[in-house]
Amino acid sequence: MATTAEFDVVVLGAGPVGQNVAERARAANLRVAMVERELVGGECSYWACVPSKALLRPVIALSDVRRVDGARQAVTGTIDPAGVFSRRDRYVTNWDDAGQAEWVAGIGATLMRGHGRLDGARQVVVSTATGEETRLLARHAIVVCTGSRPALPDLPGIAEARSWTNRQATDSSEVPERLAVVGAGGVGVEMATAWRGLGSKVTLLARGSGLLPRMEPFVGEFIGRGLSSAGVDVRTGVSVRSLHRPTPDGPVTLELHDNTELQVDEVLFATGRAPLTDDIGLQTIGLSPGSWLDVDDTCQVRAVDDGWLYAAGDVNHRALLTHQGKYQGRIAGAAIGARAAGTPLDTGPWGTHATTADHYAVPQAFFTDPEAAAVGLTAEQASAAGHRTRTVDIEIGDVVTGAKLYADGYAGRARMVVDEDEHYLLGLTLVGPAATEMLHSATIAVAGRVPVARLWHAVPCFPTVSELWLRLLEAYRDSAD
């Protein structure tokens, strides 16, 4: 027989998104229960952002050293995979979530370990592995923060091949001699970078004509050249027709669309994500299992009456990025607190409780070699949205002294997209060494809609790579002449 407990807010999923919801709801003095069926900390902490960057940093650091004369001569060996894996294991705390569970307790929330499923309005049933059940009643809100899962293509032999997803790509501690990476989005290009750096012979298969297709086209060109120079076999316009792995420990054969074959030791599919909502009881409230959850700007699910259901992070399909999900979590938690107290949503020190940045100021960073970073709209997206724009490009290594000092032969590009009617930035894209560390200034400019005329007075330090801002503004000025 199930026990029953009542809370103000029940959060499904104790990853970074759920944690931000809980923290803001607790700040409003609401009683919060967090339900987690795997590790507290979620995908990001153990199989995505954290371990992938732990694997990539040694690879990028070594490349950076080799770009500086006088330093490159000090590099006499190769990357030590065992050392890299040990470093990764430290950052994922050996897949032990005790510290994160302590954090949940520390903010005064209640952690419920088990599989949480909706069971009608404002109710969640938590089932444990031993068959025990607890029914949770939510006075104010239930927030779905269950994230997403890999979306594998329906190909003959894919189950037999025991393909890698992002999880195996980030938690494996054996370097395959040959690795095929299928997919040219963020996971694909980052893992191709990491595993090539660790010593695997990597083949990257992109179905489209370029890499990172949602970014400015030149980004994929730079990254493609970088991967190729590192020894990755980059193939575009290629799709997989079937897979074969006759023996569990044997090689995998990929049959490609052009009737050629590729034989590797492991194959990673990085072909998109699907919402992790298949088994959370959506059918009990009239929604379809396995669907994305459409939300408003406070993360309330539109299709549910009375406003008690929220969804933050990947499940709402706005921006499948950890930092954006955490932002949504903060907004949702604060909005729930304000509504519970009966106070307006646009007051207080944090401003309006609405995810406005989801619409025009989403930052993204990829830790490839060279790195890529962008915020806001691309030139094509801005034009499609009806903006009258002007686009300016600079070759960073040609015109920025700080870049030349940072790396001999610095190769990179920056693009600024400006709204010509309102005279503020719509987007900025960077590719080049250390590009990711320069993104936040652009994010502030885009999110704040800082007028271009005012940006002239944000003086970059000389000689830093950030001087690219001055060069972009000069190029913008000169293009008007």
pLDDT in tens, 6-42: 999 999 999 999 999 999 999 999 999 999 999 999 9
Per-residue confidence (pLDDT) for residue 344, from 0 to 100:
83
CATH number 1.10.10.10 is the correct assignment for the domain at 4-46+91-149+274-357: no
Predicted TM-score (pTM) of the model is 0.95
Per-residue confidence (pLDDT) for residue 353, from 0 to 100:
83
- What residue type is 182 in one-letter code? V
State the pLDDT confidence band at 346, using cuts at 50, 70 and 90. confident
Is residue 247 classed exposed, middle or buried when 0-12, 13-18 and 19+ CB atoms within 10 A define those classes? exposed
State the pLDDT confidence band at 481, using cuts at 50, 70 and 90. low
pLDDT digits (tens, 9 = 90+) for 146-179: 999 999 999 999 999 999 999 999 999 999 999 9
Would you say 352 is a known binding-site residue? no
pLDDT surpassing 90 at residue 252: yes
- Token readout for 1 is 């027989």
pLDDT surpassing 90 at residue 368: yes
Would you say 200 is a known binding-site residue? no
Would you say 92 is a known binding-site residue? no
Count how many residues are written for the chain. Answer: 481
CATH architecture of 370-479: 2-Layer Sandwich (3.30)
Would you say 187 is a known binding-site residue? yes
Instruction: Of 428, 304, 284, give the one whose Cα is nearest residue 361.
Output: 428
Would you say 272 is a known binding-site residue? yes
Average pLDDT for residues 299-316, to the nearest whole number?
97
Q: Do domains 4-46+91-149+274-357 and 370-479 have the same CATH topology?
A: no
Distance of alpha carbon 238 from alpha carbon 75, whole angstroms: 36
Mean pLDDT of the chain: 96
Would you say 199 is a known binding-site residue? no
pLDDT surpassing 90 at residue 58: yes
Would you say 429 is a known binding-site residue? no
In the chain, pLDDT over 90 holds for what percent of residues?
95
Per-residue confidence (pLDDT) for residue 1, from 0 to 100:
59
Is residue 329 classed exposed, middle or buried when 0-12, 13-18 and 19+ CB atoms within 10 A define those classes? buried
pLDDT digits (tens, 9 = 90+) for 71-126: 999 999 999 999 999 999 999 999 999 999 999 999 999 999 999 999 999 999 99
Would you say 80 is a known binding-site residue? no
Would you say 147 is a known binding-site residue? yes
Per-residue confidence (pLDDT) for residue 480, from 0 to 100:
83
Instruction: Of 17, 61, 42, give the one whose Cα is nearest residue 166.
Output: 42
Instruction: Of 232, 178, 231, 185, give the one whose Cα is nearest residue 204.
Output: 232
pLDDT surpassing 90 at residue 268: yes
Would you say 185 is a known binding-site residue? yes
Would you say 15 is a known binding-site residue? no
Would you say 116 is a known binding-site residue? yes
pLDDT surpassing 90 at residue 352: no
Per-residue confidence (pLDDT) for residue 343, from 0 to 100:
87
Would you say 188 is a known binding-site residue? yes
Domain ranges of the chain: 4-46+91-149+274-357, 153-270, 370-479
pLDDT digits (tens, 9 = 90+) for 458-468: 999 999 999 99
Would you say 11 is a known binding-site residue? no
pLDDT surpassing 80 at residue 231: yes
pLDDT surpassing 80 at residue 350: no
Average pLDDT for residues 411-435, to the nearest whole number?
97
State the pLDDT confidence band at 345, using cuts at 50, 70 and 90. confident
Would you say 326 is a known binding-site residue? no
pLDDT surpassing 70 at residue 348: no
Instruction: Of 362, 353, 420, 432, give the one whose Cα is nearest residue 392.
Output: 420
Q: Which ranges constitute the DSSP H helices of 368-425?
A: 379-384, 396-399, 401-406
The CATH number, out of the four listed (3.50.50.60, 3.40.50.2300, 3.40.50.300, 2.102.10.10), of the domain defined by the range 153-270: 3.50.50.60
